[in-house]
Amino acid sequence: MPMYLALFLTFLRIGAFTIGGGYAMLPLIEREVVGRGWINKEDFYDLFTVAQTMPGIFAVNIAIFVGYKLKGIPGSVVCVLGSILPSFLIILTIALFFTQIKDNVWVEKIFKGLRPAVVALIVVPCITLAQSVGLTWKTVIISIVAALLIWLLGVSPIYIIIMAAAGGLVYGLRIKRD
C-alpha cells in the first residue's frame, strides 16, 4: 500500500474512533506510528511536545507534525485530512438531526457514559509520557507548582511557558555546563 494511502487511512481510523479530542487520540496515534516503525518513540514525544505548545487544535497539530516528519508537506495534508474528515462528517450529520435529538434522554446517557473512558484516554498518555522522559522529583515539583499557579492563582499558561523556557535555557547554558 502506498505510504500516502496508509497515512490517510491510519489518521482516518484514528479520527473516526476517538472521542474526547486530541489528547484522547494520543495513545492511538502513538500505537499506530511508533508501532509501525514510522517514527521512533523519542521523536514521537518530541513531536508531541512541540504540537502541545503550538496554537491550534492539538490533534491537527500532531497530525501535521507526524505527516511532515514522514512525507513533508504532502504528508501533512494527508494526515490532517484523515484526522479531521470523520469529525467534520459526524458533526455535519448531528447538525442535520440536532433538533430531533437535542432533548433525547438516551443521547444524554450515552455522553455521560463516555466521560470516564475519555478521562482514561487522556490520563494514559500522560503517564506514558512521564515514564518515558525520566521524570525526577525536581521536574514533578516544577509541574505541580506550575499547575497550582495556573489553577489557584490564575497565572496565564503563557507566562508559565515563558518562565519554563527561560529556566531551561538558563539551566542548559549556565548550571548544566558547570
Terminal-residue alpha carbon distance, the chain: 52
Per-residue pLDDT at 110 = 83
Q: What is the pLDDT of residue 28?
A: 83
Predicted pLDDT of residue 65? 92
- Whether this prediction's pTM lies above 0.75 is answered by no
Picking from 54, 149, 31, the residue whose alpha carbon sits closest to that of residue 64 is 54
- Residue 66's nearest CA partner among 55, 75, 56 is 75
pLDDT higher than threshold 80 for residue 17: no
Count of beta carbons in the 10 Å neighbourhood of residue 23: 20
Q: Is the pLDDT score of 176 beyond 90?
A: no
pLDDT of 93 above 90: no
Confidence of residue 24 (pLDDT cuts 50, 70, 90): confident
Q: How far is CA 147 from the centre of its chain?
A: 18
Q: What is the pLDDT of residue 64?
A: 93
pLDDT in tens, 134-152: 778 888 898 899 999 999 9
Q: 58-62, 65-69, 127-131, 139-143: which has the highest mean pLDDT?
A: 65-69
Give the residue carrying C-alpha cell 492539538: 58
State which amino acid sits at residue 132.
S
Handedness of CA 30, 34, 38, 40 (dihedral sign): positive
Q: Which residue has the cell 504528508?
A: 75
User: CA dist 104 to 31, 61, 108, 118, 176, Å?
Assistant: 35, 34, 7, 21, 59
Asked if 27 and 47 touch (Cβ cutoff 8 Å), the reply is: no
